[in-house]
Structure 1
Amino acid sequence: MVEFRDLLSALGEFCLYQKLLVLLLSLPLLLNPFQMVGQVFMVVDVPHYCNTDWIRAVGPNLTEEEQLNLTLPRDADGEYEQCSMYSPVDWDLDSIVAYGLNTTEKCSNGWVYPTAQQPSLLTEFDLVCDRKDLGDISQSVFMAGLLIGSIIFGPLSDRIGRRPVLLISMLGQSLFGLAIAFLPNFTVYMIFRCIMATAVSGILITTLPLATEWVDVSHRPKAVLITHCFLALGQLVLAGLSYGIRNWRLLQIAGTAPMFALFFYFWVLPESARWLVTKGKIEEAKKYLKKAASINKRTIPPELLDQLKCEAQTKSGSILDLLRKKHLLKVTLIMSCAWFVGSLVYYGLSLNVTGFGLDIYLTQVAFGVVELPGRLSCIYLLKWLGRKKTQAVLLLLAGLMCLIIVGIPEDQAVAITVLAVVGKFASCASFSTSYVYAAELFPTIVRQSGVGLCSMAARVAGIIAPLILLLEQYHHAIPMATYGSVTMLGGLLCFLLPETSGVELPDDTVTNKPQKRSTLQTLPKTDSEEKGINSEKNI
């Protein structure tokens, strides 16, 4: 019986076909950072105060400064209060000027914002004062959508295939992302964002198996991490878009519309041949394998394809295997924990871009710039340290940075931002590592279900992360202390996981011990194939 790795070796383990596939999988991820954290730049705080136009009825000739002085109380610093006003009275203007107003109340007629301010979520939907927390709540609703997407698309991808789920997810992100730019109120905005988030989750978890199941053991990290580099580039694109486009509706359109240009994927995106084999769809798998070999200018020996018929019995597996098989239960619980804490610290830092004291656009650029080496460094860290140590050390480093930030005075904005950038480096690298690690730990027939469960844990953390930021009103150190301590605990648990470096992808749920990659993977090559391989190496 032929092993799938033998077929990969024959058609080319990471040649032109696989490189084109990785590029195709990377392009949708370029736009995902905008959908996930772009709202931060749509609710930037601006000066505001209560609308007190009621006094114009008795004093139509008042200047703006006179109006504010008569109708707004001042805080301890002598600035006008932003969330309270003097209660309207039925006096004439002379009486108001002579006696003044003393009774205050919350803003009852909306707020006034700078006239030069471009429409933002904050100004258009009044996300200030008592409604200020709606911004963070909206982020949690979005993360809830990611959780729903993990629940739906993880098992669905194992059932109907990777390709259809990815195409459906891209369509959903495009349609609902564009519709958001035309919504009339904030409640509907949150509902549509939640629905769009399910599609974003489908893209994130479906690109993983397609990137890993078409390449061999040694190229798996490279395939996954190249796609994640586009997530880092997307962070830089987000900074540029948000800086250049301040109107939130136009910004939403600019961040979503490019996805429509990827609809040609319907004709060019392949299915995972490895998944097809596990489902007994041998002829369809052969079609994709032959096409891949043709593009790579290779020829798969006919005897290898003939032996593929021996895989015709369909292997069975379900999400319950992850819970009732002891070795898979251990992996599932610890990896879910690693994804949870990795997501918690990643989004905790990303969504707090306005809280580090420096210009938010400059901070976002720093976050985007540091993500690129963070993702790329994983290629070498995974090779040198292995999966287990890399995952653990990166989580410990991210948690440590958060705990150090707690001890830094709030007026040291530069020091806090530098520590946050280092934490972002470690957290994004940890996130990328967890994708590679999870893909190698879970068997093919339940890989998407396993990754889906881990993704669910990450999305629960994503829901919690913005809410933890709300605790800052009680003490500024609580959010970072929470992110740091929980993340370090998760990093320590990772040392209990098995090492998967250099191990073949498991296909069924029976295997307990990993199988090292065989050095004898294929039948003897013909002279022409050997020359082709040598020429490729020379290139």
Structure 2
Amino acid sequence: MGFSELLHTIGGMGKFQILQTALMMFPALLISCHNFLQNFTAITPEHHCRPANWTNGSHAPGGVGDGDLLRVFIPLDKDQKPERCLRFSEPHWQILSLNDTSSLSLDTEVCLDGWVYDQSVASSIVSEWDLVCKHKSLKSIAQSIYMMGQLVGATVFGIFSDRCGRKAALRSGILLMMAAGTSAAFSPSFLAYCVLRFLSGMAMTGIIITSLCLTMEWTPTQRRTLVNIYTMYMVTLGQVVLTGLAYLIRPWRWLQGTLSVAYVIILLYSWGLPESACWLITHNKLDKAVKNLQAVATLNGRKEQGRKLTPEVVRLHMQEDTAAIKETPFLLDLFRTPGLRRTTCCIALGWFSAGFSFFGLGLDVQKFGFNIYWTQLLFTVVDFPMKLVTGLSMGYFGRRITAISLQLVAGCVILVTSFLPRDLNTFKMILCLFGKGSLAGCFSCLYLYTMELFPTEVRQTGMSAGIFSTRLGSLLSPLVYILGNHSPVLQPVMFGLVPILAAAAGSFLIETNNQPLLNTIQETEKRSQRPFFKKKKDVKLKYLGMK
């Protein structure tokens, strides 16, 4: 393909590509910090009702009332711990002289005067806005609202990037993230917090899809898999960084603000990055594309080869590619032709399943009952070997087989947990770790696979369709926990079945391993015409104007 030859001419994977890849890894690191931030900013501490006209509990160690005294005001649950959502209608001092209170029938009521929280646990949005008992579902809704922002951002920034350029979309996303993320740290109310988190979700999606696309469009075909592996490792490393920061910075407002201000670093160096020459060429901005290509050639030690590049030379290389390109790509372009329709639907289901099950397993690690910092670290560490296996598999067996295998493994492992008894909680966690690791590897594959499946003129729009789907899945996953309060077996069944369905759909995709990036929809149609998908020869593709 024309642009692949141009990249080879100016040095292939040279100094510029290495520097750009290193710089674009920082956004990948921060995306995990924000996606899993609520695991720490929304910790649910131990709590019980605040007894009426009683202050001892607030002065007791940890902010929770001493056992014997607290029994006078708060009933015990089946585990002999203070009830979280009930209190006695009036104090019952006779309880202190009784060894067995199971036969007593005492009147209770809901928490009319608020709650007392364990002060040894970091401050969180749960304790600040009382997101417990009948309001506990608001914690999951807050995460869903953030995911909804990512869903909207995938569409908005994808179209914006394809029409206005990768750099413009990247800088816009960074500025929005700095404004909304920092403001969320000063939220005066839960409603304001949710609105600002929605905007943060939009910005986060814009940053990650444009930074990754900008990197891949400057990367030679043979190095795309390796660059993708490095980038996905940074996503995993981001979860480790988040755990460390959350351990050191316990107040949720300080943690939220610190992670948002960090984007100023990306904003500073993003101004010096060149726009994607691939995007400039396909939008007939040849003069600017030539300048960027020459600058990259100089940095790669190929200054003489860069001098030979002119708009006429570039046009000659890309003549066939640019002839069929529409100037203003739109979301409906992904459904105009048979090959693109099949690709869009199948890859969207794969993204949906990955987001739905991955975040379903990773956003509620507190449920296992272990130390949240160690649990989060375990759920992160398992991603490292799985992403290494994914990278090797993509290189040897191809993208399609890798994606299908990982989805099948994740789905089956998660389904097994629905048949295990409650006393095997540790074994359940191990299976969930393996399932999450498989889905993390699937994400690594999908990011690269999607960019290779869609042509340049709609690549960012196609990537946005995938991100939109995964954010839709991640938006719905917290809602499953709300339904799971009524039927616990529903959670693993739903989180397990969806990846299996996605694996079946993935079998209809084409393989892209060691293939150059596509530039036009016409090329996509030609490559996607496998024997069992071929139409009659006289079928006319009106959208492309070809037979």
TM-score (norm 2): 0.87
Which whole-Å CA distance do the structure 2 matches of 1:80 and 1:226 have between them?
Answer: 48
Specify whether residues 103 and 413 from structure 1 end up closer, same or farther in structure 2 by C-alpha distance, changes over 3 A only: closer
From 401, 413, 422, the equivalent of 2:413 is 401
Give CA deviations for 1:218-269 in whole Å, capped at 9, x if unaligned: 1112222222211111011111112222211122223222222222124312
From 282, 285, 305, the equivalent of 1:300 is 305
RMSD after superposition: 2.6
Which whole-Å CA distance do the structure 1 matches of 2:250 and 2:386 have between them?
Answer: 29
Residue identity in the other structure for 1:444: T
Residue identity in the other structure for 2:512: T
Give CA deviations for 1:131-165 in whole Å, capped at 9, x if unaligned: 11111111111100000101100111000001111
Specify whether residues 113 and 292 from structure 1 end up closer, same or farther in structure 2 by C-alpha distance, changes over 3 A only: same
5+ unaligned residues in a row in structure 2: which ranges? 57-64, 98-103, 529-547
Aligned residue for 2:83, secondary structure, equals coil
For 2:526, the equivalent position in structure 1 comes to 513
For 1:491, the equivalent position in structure 2 comes to 503
For 1:138, the equivalent position in structure 2 comes to 142
Which whole-Å CA distance do the structure 1 matches of 2:331 and 2:124 have between them?
Answer: 43
Larger mean CA deviation between 237-246 and 335-344 belongs to: 237-246
Q: What fraction of aligned residue pairs are identical, expressed as a percent?
A: 32
Which whole-Å CA distance do the structure 2 matches of 1:227 and 1:56 have between them?
Answer: 52
For 1:289, the equivalent position in structure 2 comes to 293
Aligned residue for 2:31, secondary structure, equals helix
Aligned residue for 2:7, secondary structure, equals helix
**Match status 1:226 vs 2:230:** yes
Give CA deviations for 1:497-528 in whole Å, capped at 9, x if unaligned: 1111121211111122339xxxxxxxxxxxxx
Specify whether residues 462 and 323 from structure 1 end up closer, same or farther in structure 2 by C-alpha distance, changes over 3 A only: same
For 1:349, the equivalent position in structure 2 comes to 361
Give CA deviations for 1:400-421 in whole Å, capped at 9, x if unaligned: 1101222222222332222122
Residue identity in the other structure for 2:217: E
5+ unaligned residues in a row in structure 1: which ranges? 58-62, 516-539
Give CA deviations for 1:273-310 in whole Å, capped at 9, x if unaligned: 00000000001001110111111101326555341134
Larger mean CA deviation between 229-238 and 252-261 belongs to: 252-261
Which whole-Å CA distance do the structure 2 matches of 1:115 and 1:501 have between them?
Answer: 54
Q: Is the 8 A contact 1:54 1:88 kept in 2?
A: no
**Match status 1:149 vs 2:153:** yes
Specify whether residues 116 and 217 from structure 1 end up closer, same or farther in structure 2 by C-alpha distance, changes over 3 A only: closer
Which whole-Å CA distance do the structure 1 matches of 2:370 and 2:76 have between them?
Answer: 27
Residue identity in the other structure for 1:22: T
For 2:535, the equivalent position in structure 1 comes to none
Aligned residue for 1:85, secondary structure, equals strand
Residue identity in the other structure for 2:356: L
Q: Is the 8 A contact 1:142 1:197 kept in 2?
A: yes
For 2:538, the equivalent position in structure 1 comes to none
Aligned residues: 506
Which whole-Å CA distance do the structure 2 matches of 1:493 and 1:466 have between them?
Answer: 24
Which whole-Å CA distance do the structure 2 matches of 1:116 and 1:339 have between them?
Answer: 39
For 1:79, the equivalent position in structure 2 comes to 81
Aligned residue for 2:288, secondary structure, equals helix
Kindly state the Cα deviation for residue 190 of structure 1 after the two structures are TM-superposed: 0.8
For 1:537, the equivalent position in structure 2 comes to none
Specify whether residues 118 and 454 from structure 1 end up closer, same or farther in structure 2 by C-alpha distance, changes over 3 A only: closer
Which whole-Å CA distance do the structure 1 matches of 2:527 and 2:308 have between them?
Answer: 27
Q: Is the 8 A contact 1:7 1:304 kept in 2?
A: no
For 1:69, the equivalent position in structure 2 comes to 71
Kindly state the Cα deviation for residue 88 of structure 1 after the two structures are TM-superposed: 5.7
Specify whether residues 293 and 406 from structure 1 end up closer, same or farther in structure 2 by C-alpha distance, changes over 3 A only: same
Aligned residue for 1:389, secondary structure, equals helix
Aligned residue for 1:14, secondary structure, equals coil
From 454, 470, 473, the equivalent of 2:485 is 473
Q: Is the 8 A contact 2:400 2:507 kept in 1?
A: yes
Kindly state the Cα deviation for residue 75 of structure 1 after the two structures are TM-superposed: 2.9
Q: Is the 8 A contact 2:411 2:500 kept in 1?
A: yes
**Match status 1:278 vs 2:282:** yes
For 1:376, the equivalent position in structure 2 comes to 388
From 113, 117, 121, the equivalent of 1:113 is 117
Give CA deviations for 1:318-375 in whole Å, capped at 9, x if unaligned: 4322112111000000000010001111111111212234322112112222223333
Which whole-Å CA distance do the structure 2 matches of 1:87 and 1:101 have between them?
Answer: 12
Specify whether residues 116 and 284 from structure 1 end up closer, same or farther in structure 2 by C-alpha distance, changes over 3 A only: same
**Match status 1:248 vs 2:252:** yes
Specify whether residues 368 and 76 from structure 1 end up closer, same or farther in structure 2 by C-alpha distance, changes over 3 A only: closer
Which whole-Å CA distance do the structure 2 matches of 1:235 and 1:42 have between them?
Answer: 14
For 1:40, the equivalent position in structure 2 comes to 39
Q: Is the 8 A contact 1:167 1:265 kept in 2?
A: no
Q: How do 1:81-480 residues align onto structure 2 when only pairs under 5 Å count?
A: 81-87=83-89, 102-298=106-302, 299-300=304-305, 302-305=307-310, 306-310=312-316, 311=318, 315-316=325-326, 317-480=329-492
Specify whether residues 514 and 68 from structure 1 end up closer, same or farther in structure 2 by C-alpha distance, changes over 3 A only: same
Larger mean CA deviation between 498-507 and 304-313 belongs to: 304-313
Aligned residue for 2:87, secondary structure, equals strand
Kindly state the Cα deviation for residue 55 of structure 1 after the two structures are TM-superposed: 5.3
TM-score (norm 1): 0.88
Which whole-Å CA distance do the structure 1 matches of 2:346 and 2:510 have between them?
Answer: 11
